[in-house]
Chain A
Amino acid sequence: MEVYILGILVTITIFALMAISLDLLVGYTGLFTIAQAAMFGSGAYASAIVSLETGLGFWGGAVAGIAVGAAVASLASIPSLRVSGDYLVLASFGVQVVFHGLFLNLDGVTGGPAGLRGIPRPSLFGWSIDSPAEYLALYLAIAVVIVAVLRRLLASSFGLLLQAVREDELVPQALGKDVLRLKIKIFVLSGAIAGLSGSMYAHYITFVSPESFDVHASIFVLAMVLVGGMGTTWGAILGAAILILLPEVLRFLPLPTMSMGPIRQIIYGLILIMVCFLRPRGLIGGRS
């Protein structure tokens, strides 16, 4: 039981980082996108491949995951330089579909539908991480560092400019701000964090396959941000916790085994709809 709970907490930590990375775009900057699983997945694959092929282990893989996540994000940022609103959502959806297609079909690199197995577990100064408690300690430490740096950044003048651009893109330009460069930077930052969380995922599950990185995964993370509250780091964390815990809690409902799957899905959907109606600004009332 303890192992089970610790495992859930590790998963929450990974997805909280991913939700935070998406919230940088959606919540802080007003760039509505659904391609986070493309960056998360690219990071996961890059990390898996590097650690499997080179023996650089989790840390080498994480660096690769960060770099590849950032690179994919800079590609994904291109539409945002020209279009916004609905068109941006659509364009990012395209990015998501393309990358899922690549994961699925680049057999030689990604292992195709079968994915990649046997991804090594992390080690730290020769001490190998393999129990959920050790994973939780390592991943929480990483997450705390990232969140601390991000919160400092978001509270700075850089964060102020992000919030301004969210409201109005033209006035900041008239005030001498390079809005395009700001957008590229926030995409790259978001992709780097998503890539890192992908790497953490890969080295925790020790197996990656395309279905973990499809459009449902992107929507799942978007739901975390919306439920928790946009534009607040805590909201993204809370949203991740709720959406990971919810199915686990529903699993304990006394339902007949046959109908369990569909009923869980329905309850899950209803709770999401309820949150959207009752708390349109998310549970931690960020911006609407």
Chain B
Amino acid sequence: MPELELVNVSKSFGGLAAVSDVSITFGGSRITGLVGPNGAGKTTLFNLITGMYPPTGGRVLFHGEDITGLAPHHVARRGIGRTFQQVRVFGELTVEQNAMLGLPEVSDSLSVGLLRTGRGRDELLERARKNLEFVKLDHRASELASDLSYAEQKLLMFACLLGLGASTLLLDEPAAGLDPTSHGPVLDTIRQLGGRGHTIVLVEHNLDVIRSCCDEAVFLAEGRVVRTGTPQELISDPELGALYFGMVEGVNA
């Protein structure tokens, strides 16, 4: 059974078809790249999968179960985690508190909040620390998240996400906005996560990143799947190149 399956998913905003009739199966490979020009609908697709928007049509299946229209927190609890295109860490909280937030035990339960003893709390801290170690931020645990560099904040988003324990991770441009020297740690983290058995969907404009991380990639343009193949196949396709660079340049110009 595929991990995550989109069946004829569509979404329009008013008259604009942001995602049209998209069918993709994720999970055949560990890390799948999702590429395409600006406005192709990549982020919207993540928002549809995670329940942030209801789709206008189609279904989202997770382990064969229909999760279309579930509230975001239910989707997350089922095992789909995501990061956001902009860095979104909790700047007024410490690095360690950010990492704790991902843990399922941190919840709206008043009784858990009141009754959890010192030991239970230490155990949570311990797990949060492990996730910080994984992204090599443990030495900054007690600093405010807003004091971290941009690249470190991106890593912190991972540590936070790891706490959730989701099997599927949707990563929206995790390397964007980083200078090439800080790519390394972020990409290493993604590869390691793939190695740990997570199913990862990686949105990324930088094709070098896609090539170095993904076994498979999906090319999206104007809300439709244009092609699926290995990163190399997509990169060497002149038609896609024209579509991609034509549009990227068009946007950047």
Contacts and interface: CB of A to CB of B under 8 A. Distances in A.
A177 B107 contact: yes
Q: Enumerate the 5 nearest inter-chain pairs by beta-carbon distance, A residue then B residue, closest first.
A: A158-B113, A176-B76, A156-B113, A182-B108, A157-B106
B18 to A, nearest CB: 18
Given A174-B76, A175-B160, A176-B104, A158 B112 contact: yes
Provide the main secondary structure of the chain A interface.
helix
Interface string B90-108: 1111000100111111111
A163 interface: yes
Interface string A179-196: 101100100010000000
Contacts of A152: 114
A168 interface: yes
B231 interface: no
Contacts of B198: none
A77 to B, nearest CB: 13
Nearest to A159: B113
Nearest to B106: A157
A182 B82 CA distance: 21
Contacts of B101: 160-161, 164, 172, 175
Interface in A41-74: none
Interface string B163-175: 1100000000000
Nearest to A157: B106
Given A168-B90, A175-B76, A176-B104, 6 more contacts: A164-B93, A170-B88, A171-B88, A173-B76, A174-B50, A178-B107
A273 interface: no
Contacts of A168: 88, 90
A185 B108 CA distance: 8
A175 B81 contact: yes
B63 interface: no
A174 B90 contact: no
Contacts of A106: none
Contacts of B26: none
A153 interface: yes
A164 B98 CA distance: 8
A287 interface: yes
Contacts of A149: 114
Interface of A: 149, 152-153, 156-161, 163-164, 166-168, 170-179, 181-182, 185, 189, 287
Contacts of A174: 50, 52, 72-73, 76, 81-82, 84
Contacts, number: 101
Contacts of A161: 101, 106-108
B155 interface: no
Most buried by A among B73, B76, B97: B73
B124 interface: yes
B62 to A, nearest CB: 14
Most buried by B among A159, A170, A172: A172
B110 A153 contact: yes
B16 to A, nearest CB: 22
Contacts of A158: 107-110, 112-114
Contact of B112 (A157, A177, A181, A185): A157
A173 B112 CA distance: 19
A185 to B, nearest CB: 6
Given A153-B114, A161-B106, A167 B100 contact: no
Given A157-B112, A182-B108, A175 B92 contact: no
A4 B101 CA distance: 48
12 contacts: A158-B110, A160-B93, A160-B97, A161-B101, A161-B108, A167-B90, A167-B93, A173-B76, A174-B50, A174-B81, A177-B106, A177-B108
Given A174-B50, A178-B73, A153 B104 contact: no
